[in-house]
Amino acid sequence: MNNSRVLFVSGRETEYPRNKQLISLLSKTHTVSVLTGQGPSLLRRTFQSIRSLLSAGGKCEAIYVGFYGYLILPFARLRFPATRIVFDAFLSTYDTLQSDSSKLRQLPRGLSDACCFLHRRTPLILWMGWLIDYIGLHLASEVLIDTQAQKRYLSRTFGIKPEKITVLYLSVDKKLFSPAFTQGAGPSQSPLCPSRRGAAGEGAASGKFTVLYYASFLPLHGVDVILKAAERLKDCADIRFVFFGDGPQRRDTERTVEQNALTNVTFREPVPLEKLPGIIAQADLCLAGHFSDIPKAGRVIAAKTIQMLSMCKPTVITETEANKELVHFAEWPDWEGRCIWVMPHDPAGLAEAIHKAYKTQRQS
């Protein structure tokens, strides 16, 4: 490691997987001063981070602005006009508002209500998002993004020269998401295991075929597609779907399950990242997706895709532009043999893939 110092600042917490990945990489070659705020919300952390950045002293080789950092970029450039700024864009504000306006609900209540009201009645919020992205991306010296598909999108939409954008694929903690965990995990290690009526553990504890999905329930994820597949399979008593997580569409999803009497679907609360390997290890089949046909879904690789494949689990993923990029960086044993490909927004195809995996396991 050289002695050069770099600053890292972000709107999301430093433990957010993408920020954690970047800090880890930087720490191998630099002394990293982390300026990210510690507030409970994105806006408060962003304000704290900006304040820390503006008061930062000493020399630094570069400033790394992590996710979410669009609002931080102007202040970073103001404070360090001649310093190299590397911006991990990760996602586009404009793209997110265009394809997934439910993200506005994650803002503080008053601001969230106002933004949602404006978004429904005028394109003002959408174009504000575009302007925020445009300014941030052009102020940065170099831009990081997570897929080639996203790189092409940023270049096309915001007029960024392709040579300014570097693809840094998502990665996971290999010690945490390891095939060894899958091979050595016993029933007592996983939240999938408790056996009670309607609980996720019916799969692990009573010979059911457990299909695992976890998410923050956003339109991007296509949870509705999974439910339609589950409805097609509801007469197959051995197949059970287990959903972990929470988010904007969870309540609507639960209501759909109740209205359609889908007794093969169970919901569980979110779990910390360190407990996910235990859940994945106990599943018979993992669903990664993304399953919606929203354009953004086709340009990103879900973190869960990498987590599940890192543990060498049979995983259903969608045949998208971004997911096809897995061939460029996948290092997992026989990962292609463990991928089950389906088309986006195809409940029938998904149901067929799940049933085929179930029959294959039962026959082995």
Q: Side by side, which strands form the sheet with 84-88?
A: 31-34, 5-9, 62-65, 84-88, 142-145, 165-167
| Predicted confidence (pLDDT) at residue 191 exceeds the cutoff of 80 | no
Name 342's bridge partners: 318
Rounded Cα distance, 68 and 90, in Å: 8
Residue 329's pLDDT is 82
| Predicted confidence (pLDDT) at residue 220 exceeds the cutoff of 60 | yes
Q: What percent of the chain has pLDDT over 70?
A: 86
Mean pLDDT of 235-264: 95
pLDDT category, 67, cuts 50, 70, 90? Answer: very high
Residue 163: which residues within 8 A CB-CB, separation 6 or more?
none
More confident call, 206 vs 188: 206
Q: What percent of the chain has pLDDT over 90?
A: 70
Output the CA angle 113-224-344, nearest 5 degrees.
110
Residue 57's pLDDT is 84
Residue 139's pLDDT is 97
Residue 200's pLDDT is 41
Say what the pTM is: 0.86
Residue 129's pLDDT is 87
Say how many C-beta atoms besides its own lie within 10 A of residue 84's C-beta: 14
Residue 331's pLDDT is 80
Residue 151: which residues within 8 A CB-CB, separation 6 or more?
145, 162, 165, 167
More confident call, 202 vs 326: 326
Residue 116's pLDDT is 56
Name 315's bridge partners: 286, 339
Mean pLDDT of 300-324: 95
Mean pLDDT of 39-62: 91
Residue 117's pLDDT is 56
pLDDT category, 179, cuts 50, 70, 90? Answer: confident
| Predicted confidence (pLDDT) at residue 319 exceeds the cutoff of 60 | yes
Torsion of CA 246, 250, 251, 257, to 10 degrees: -130
Rounded Cα distance, 332 and 214, in Å: 21
Say how many C-beta atoms besides its own lie within 10 A of residue 68's C-beta: 22
| Predicted confidence (pLDDT) at residue 178 exceeds the cutoff of 90 | no
| Predicted confidence (pLDDT) at residue 355 exceeds the cutoff of 80 | yes
- 64 burial type by CB count under 10 A (0-12 exposed, 13-18 middle, 19+ buried): buried
Structure tokens at 303: 């973190």
Least confident span in 18-22, 104-108, 161-165: 104-108
Residue 250's pLDDT is 95
What is the rounded average pLDDT for all residues in the chain? Answer: 87
pLDDT category, 198, cuts 50, 70, 90? Answer: very low
Torsion of CA 282, 285, 289, 291, to 10 degrees: -120
- Which domains, and CATH codes, for the chain? 5-167 (3.40.50.2000), 179-363 (3.40.50.2000)
Residue 315: which residues within 8 A CB-CB, separation 6 or more?
285, 286, 287, 288, 305, 308, 309, 338, 339, 340
More confident call, 241 vs 120: 241
